Amino acid sequence: MGDKREEGLSALLHETRTFPPTDEMVKRANAGPGIYDEANADPLAFWASQAEYLTWDTPWTETLEWNPPFAKWFVGGKLNVAVNCVDRHVEAGLGARVAFHWEGEPGDTRTITYDDLLKSVCQAANGLTELGVRAGDKVAIYMPMIPETVVAMLACARLGAPHTVVFGGFSSDALRGRILDCDAHFVITADGGYRRGVASPLKAAVDEAVAECPDVEKVLVVQRTGQEVDWSEGRDVWWHDMVSRQPEHHEAEAFDAEHPLYIMYTSGTTAQPKGILHTSGGYLTHVAATHRLIFDIKPEEDVFWTAADIGWVTGHSYIVYGPLANCTTSVMYEGTPDTPARDRWWQIIEKYKVNILYTAPTTIRTFMKWGEDLPAAHDLSSLRLLGSVGEPINPEAWIWYRTHIGREQCPIVDTWWQTETGGILITPLPGITATKPGAAMTPFPGISVDIIDNEGNSVGNDEGGYLVITQPWPGMLRGIWGDDERYKETYWSRFPGKYFAGDGAKRDQDGDIWLLGRVDDVMNISGHRISTTEIEHALVSHPAVAEAAVVGASDATTGQAIVAFVTVKGAGTEGAPDGEEFVAELRDHVAHEIGPIAKPRQIMLTPELPKTRSGKIMRRLLRDVAEHRDLGDVTTLLDPSVVNAIKVRMSDGAEDKE
């Protein structure tokens, strides 16, 4: 573990208060005191009891079939995920309950009940069928945060057609890569969506992407902004023409518990994002159970808000599948927290009387910067529980969240998980856990984790190590789409028989777990995973660039920030590109290749990159340069003067700051 993480940890451990659950929480919490013992005694029986909350067409015969590293959960069981999220609630007489209070960025709103959702999902399923979508076909979804996005996902689930939702902020190139990788023949999109008052051109990006995807047959387009769009006759279909005229009834088929539900692309340590595959029965069991027990959901009274984008796994599991399986009322918001003003979230909470808020530390730190007067000007007394996800939460942000948003009363659940884990794995449980600011605390019931050293031995308390998961769990990824070898290699080869998460962690003296950040080349920018290699790849694809190295430097608001060191072709010679304009061009190039979230905060043009004698780029050293730290030992360097040259240029202010 690097020095940086150790420093980070001592800062974390400075805050020593613990916050026991209130008496009221102890009394009312869904998770009772015996839950850990029950799950420890028989984890499979525990998960089977959680699966009983779902409605199965055919019961399973075996809870788990484990051929490491391949798992099958609820073997032989059949269910339809969409029926579990919608139909069964309507059949139970709950159709009038609101599924979503939707708030558009410009201020338009929609209220969608479970009755409405059922009608829309059936119509969309009929529409997709008419377009030719069949069970097993992949459907790419590239949408803003509008109700049709949820409807599209559920319609796919209903038909057994795995969806791959691509975050609307990704570029057309990134979209194309994903469409091709999973061989999607259908795309669902919108003309655009609103972000910071501007209509984004989603359809135009799809046109660009699909131009080089010969197998895409149909593009279904929701009208959201009304902006001009190009139209490809025969391929493009308006949602309002096609879906709205469909019958409101659709007979759903039950699929195997292991039928693919979705593929979500995420950054790993190589340039090529990985298609993480999730299936049906185990995944839904996991997200429904964690949603009910961690957020202490009382569906008949609560208003729940996961303030994330559906294009990320947090949106899949805790805006769509978990909450809907539990018949919850959720808020869904299209835009950013600062539009039209910086109190938009607090307005929304006051308006809908939100009880549970789930967001990321980077957003909390942004709110801290904007000041506590904004939340203080609103009535946030409906809130009773707060959640955090995406990166380690620093104690200052934790305490601020509790004090200024939670009125010193709301428990905070800091939830650790990943795209690969499907749902939350490490978290406090309200009503049981006495929380510590900055700690994710305890494996969820039925989950076994360890923290180990390089040799695979468990480390003692207060010693840092690698986080591994030692037993299969129902929401676990079933593989990387189309690449079983990569799945084994990435997650199961470093420590045979154990799932390697890529995170560093530590148990404190009480045995409680603290996450310490990634131990690989994956950065965490505002809670979004981005790989250094992916950005290096994008930079090198620029014709003028010879070589690039990217590091994540710590940043007070976004957690980490992207810093790139770039060597241009013919560096140092007359006419080689240089200067601020060229740096701006490179940043735009990265945005075009991947998306604006991948734009480096700084790009440093340098005649050479520091390398070891064996030719490896010294990233640790570049990170130290990027963070203006002392360099330590550089004797294995090929040419130590390179680093000094970089450092001098950096402190000269030759960097490009946004």
Binding residues (CB under 6 A) for ligand WTA: these are: 266, 312-314, 389-392, 414-419, 440, 501-503, 515, 518, 524, 529
Cα–Cα nearest to 412, from 360, 448, 370, 377: 360
Strand 412-415 with 385-389, pairing? parallel
Q: Do the beta carbons of residue 391 and residue 361 sit within 8 Å? A: yes
Our CB check for ligand WTA shows the closer of 141 and 313 to be: 313
CB of 305 to ligand WTA, least distance (A): 16
The kind and range of the H/E element at 357 are strand 356-359
Rounded Cα distance between 493 and 500, Å, is: 8
> Of 265, 264, 354, which is closest to residue 307 (Cα–Cα)?
354
Judged by DSSP in three states, 241 sits in: helix
Q: Which is nearer to ligand WTA, 313 or 405 (CB)?
A: 313
Handedness of CA 189, 253, 478, 305 (dihedral sign): positive
| Cβ-based nearer residue to ligand WTA, 151 or 332 | 332
Q: How far is the CB of 317 from ligand WTA (least distance, A)?
A: 8
Q: Of 123 and 266, which CB lies nearer to ligand WTA in the complex structure? A: 266
Nearest to 153 by CA among 332, 274, 305, 300: 332
CB of 628 to ligand WTA, least distance (A): 24
Q: What is the dihedral of CA 320, 324, 329, 333, to 10 degrees?
A: 10
Q: How far is the CB of 212 from ligand WTA (least distance, A)?
A: 27
DSSP 620-643: HHHHHHHTT------TTBS-HHHH
Please state the closest distance from residue 102 (CB atom) to ligand WTA, in A: 23
The CB-of-45 to ligand WTA minimum distance in angstroms stands at 27
The least CB distance from residue 36 to ligand WTA, in Å, is 19
Q: 392 or 431: whose CB is closer to ligand WTA?
A: 392
> What secondary structure letter does DSSP report for 63?
E
Residue 279 or 314: the one with the smaller Cβ distance to ligand WTA is 314
Supply the minimum distance, in Å, between the C-beta of residue 501 and ligand WTA.
6
3-class SS letters over 148-170: HHHHHHHHHHHHCCCEEECCCCC
Nearest to 45 by CA among 22, 23, 62: 62
Do residues 587 and 599 touch, judged by C-beta distance below 8 A?
A: yes
Nearest C-alpha neighbor of 94 from the set 405, 359, 393, 326 = 326
Min dist CB 454 to ligand WTA, Å, is 19
Q: For ligand WTA, which is the closer residue by CB, 360 or 618?
A: 360
Cα–Cα–Cα angle for 473, 476, 478, nearest 5°? Answer: 125
Name the β-bridge partners of 549: 565
> DSSP of 284-301, one letter per residue?
HHHHHHHHHHHTT--TTT
Q: Which of 422, 507, 431 is nearest to 472 (CA)?
A: 422
Cα 475–Cα 480–Cα 485 angle in degrees, nearest 5: 125
Cβ–Cβ < 8 Å for 408, 399: no
Q: Give the helix ranges, DSSP H, for 280-360.
A: 281-294, 313-315, 322-325, 344-352
Nearer to ligand WTA by Cβ, of 43 and 268: the residue is 268
Q: Which is nearer to ligand WTA, 160 or 311 (CB)?
A: 311
Largest CA distance in the chain: 76
Candidates 139, 122, 118, 129; CA nearest to 188 is 139
Nearer to ligand WTA, 158 or 436 (CB): 436
- In the complex, the smallest distance separating the C-beta of residue 127 from ligand WTA, rounded to whole angstroms, is 31
> b or e along 510-540 (b: 16 or more beta carbons within 10 Å of the residue's beta carbon)?
eebbbbbbbbbbbbbbbbbbbbbbbbbbbbe
**What's the closest the beta carbon of residue 63 comes to ligand WTA, in angstroms?**
25
Q: Shortest gap between Cβ of 389 and ligand WTA (angstroms)?
A: 5
CB of 560 to ligand WTA, least distance (A): 10
How far is the C-alpha of 415 from the C-alpha of 307, rounded, in Å? 14
Q: Cβ closer to ligand WTA: 192 or 387? A: 387
CB-nearer residue toward ligand WTA: 167 or 255 = 167
Q: Of 312 and 333, which has the nearer Cβ to ligand WTA?
A: 312
Q: How far is the CB of 392 from ligand WTA (least distance, A)?
A: 4
For ligand WTA, the closer of residues 113 and 524 by Cβ is: 524
